[in-house]
Chain A
């Protein structure tokens, strides 16, 4: 292992950074689009059904195929990878946001409106805080997906830890495969852990004596 690190140490750091960069950007874009979209969709029940089925359909495209399909549009490199992973990250976040917002106790929404909150105040002060645990669960799921799938992005020249794995496969070198896989797993677990912490922080307190 020390041998492996001596040989590929600096490369490992660069590739890990690429992996983080690609997945974080894809996830960030996914959250940026899916959360507001999910919230808006709760206001348009009929449209919501169509949007949900389209995004489910996108999810069924094999990941490798989707990555390859990006090449004619965006060429090779990081951009097509980020776009493809962004598409993948959408569904879990979108679906959880939609469900989370829909599951907010209708009584609370009625009370918020009846007490004189504007629609925006009701969404930001009541509905989103209440839906937060479910929305966060979607984001965590997407994050783990995106990190592990971004390994495949190396296939279309995006770089990342996938480079180790594909090289290992081509060269029949198990240590390269393992050396690429372990950091990916660690990265996914670490991200999930950190997002879990973050979730605790943004989930509203409903009991006194619980410190944020």
Chain B
């Protein structure tokens, strides 16, 4: 079922899954989603979109009325629901800690159900409280004595107590303040990236989804609208609903994040081949109104650049471009993302950077000016660009942003 090029094993798959409630109201319909090991999957949608229903079907909190769900290759119907739930981590909003159990008892709740020996549980409790970045003395306390953020940290690590590979999280940070939420988001990102846990995360917060997910499933009124990577969703929203969900601001910002340099490069760079004379170089510069030229060989492979200053210093009638050109300091491959490149260009003060394809053939340039346009869009929005006079440029960007 997984495509050949993806090596990661699938851990959960939905095939034509539907849930109809008594009385005929439809919970979800026609769900086809594959979750691979190590992924961070966000189910996102408005309330009533079926995102929580879909997630809760994985550990059989809700049974589907139609279709099959597999967990590690087996139909979940063949698992005993209680045993299945003990092998899948579960984190809910408002932490769901048992108020009458100590933190240690809460953390080792599933191991106790699995009847682990006491020593092993003690060790696990200490290991997990360290993972949660809380002092070991907290193990003897009760949940009410911890802050909301600390409680949810325990709620998160509790889901790992029996070494579960898959963790389900149902809007776990909805009730937390933004700073605490950031901390916890880092904690679970760590679980996914460092410990290789697969996380299925339900949220209605697009920022959260874009920040955490490697795979986003957008849902609306019981249907999957789009199922893709965050980058692809930002670049190619499936329909207006997805666009609305993302918001115009985010789409603009995302342009910078998901555009590749080849999307904004000018494909007609000022260039010259190695064998030409310097006089010819100067003529080309004046024709193109620039003070530099990219230097290529006869096959259009990028060799370096030459600028007016160098020519001035080292001019001689007999010299050709190949004698005095500079080796390229910086170039970008055509599919590198703007977000990785724009900062380098802006901070290091380059006016232009040549863009090459995988075989080092010159295919264009990205200039400071074209970059700055994108950044304006992201910072001030498109409308204000209609009145460019009113915009006060931040000094760092305004400086040296000439049109080359």
Contact = CB atoms under 8 A, between A and B. Distances in A.
A62 interface: no
B5 interface: no
B93 A206 contact: no
A107 B92 contact: yes
Contacts of A113: 61, 85
Contact of B90 (A108, A114, A205): A114
A204 B61 CA distance: 27
Contact of A115 (B113, B141, B142, B144): B113
A119 to B, nearest CB: 9
B142 A206 contact: yes
B139 to A, nearest CB: 10
Contact of B92 (A114, A116, A126, A206): A114
A60 interface: no
B285 interface: no
B140 A115 contact: no
A116 B94 contact: no
B82 interface: yes
A77 B59 CA distance: 58
A208 B140 contact: yes
A5 B144 CA distance: 53
B215 interface: no
B81 to A, nearest CB: 9
Q: Could you say which of B86, B109, B141 has the most chain A C-beta atoms within 10 Å of its C-beta?
A: B109
A17 B93 CA distance: 54
A24 B165 CA distance: 53
A206 B99 contact: yes
Q: Could you say which of A108, A204, A205 has the most chain B C-beta atoms within 10 Å of its C-beta?
A: A108
A129 B100 contact: yes
A121 B113 contact: yes
Interface string B45-73: 00000000000000101000000000000
Contacts of A121: 113
Interface in A186-212: 204-208
Contact of B59 (A114, A118, A126): A114
Q: What's the interface size class on B, roughly?
A: 20 to 34
A118 B59 CA distance: 14
Interface in B178-223: none
A114 B58 CA distance: 11
Contacts of A206: 99-100, 142-144
Interface in A102-151: 107-108, 110-118, 121, 126, 129-130
Contact of B100 (A107, A116, A117, A204): A204
Contacts of B98: 108, 111-112, 126
B145 A114 contact: no
Contacts of A112: 98
Contacts of A205: 100, 142
Contact of B96 (A110, A116, A118, A208): A110
Interface in B90-146: 90, 92-94, 96-100, 102, 109-110, 113, 140-145
B93 A208 contact: no
Contacts of A115: 85-86, 90, 109-110, 113, 158
Contacts of B145: 207-208
Given A108-B98, A114-B90, 17 more contacts: A107-B93, A110-B92, A111-B97, A114-B61, A114-B85, A114-B96, A115-B110, A115-B113, A116-B84, A116-B86, A116-B110, A117-B113, A129-B100, A130-B100, A206-B143, A207-B145, A208-B142
28 contacts: A108-B98, A108-B99, A110-B92, A111-B90, A111-B97, A111-B98, A114-B59, A114-B61, A114-B85, A114-B92, A114-B168, A115-B86, A115-B109, A115-B110, A115-B113, A115-B158, A116-B82, A116-B84, A116-B85, A116-B110, A118-B82, A126-B98, A130-B100, A205-B142, A206-B142, A207-B142, A208-B142, A208-B145
Interface of B: 59, 61, 82-86, 90, 92-94, 96-100, 102, 109-110, 113, 140-145, 158, 168
9 A-B pairs with least C-beta separation? A111-B96, A204-B100, A116-B86, A114-B90, A116-B85, A206-B99, A206-B142, A107-B96, A129-B100
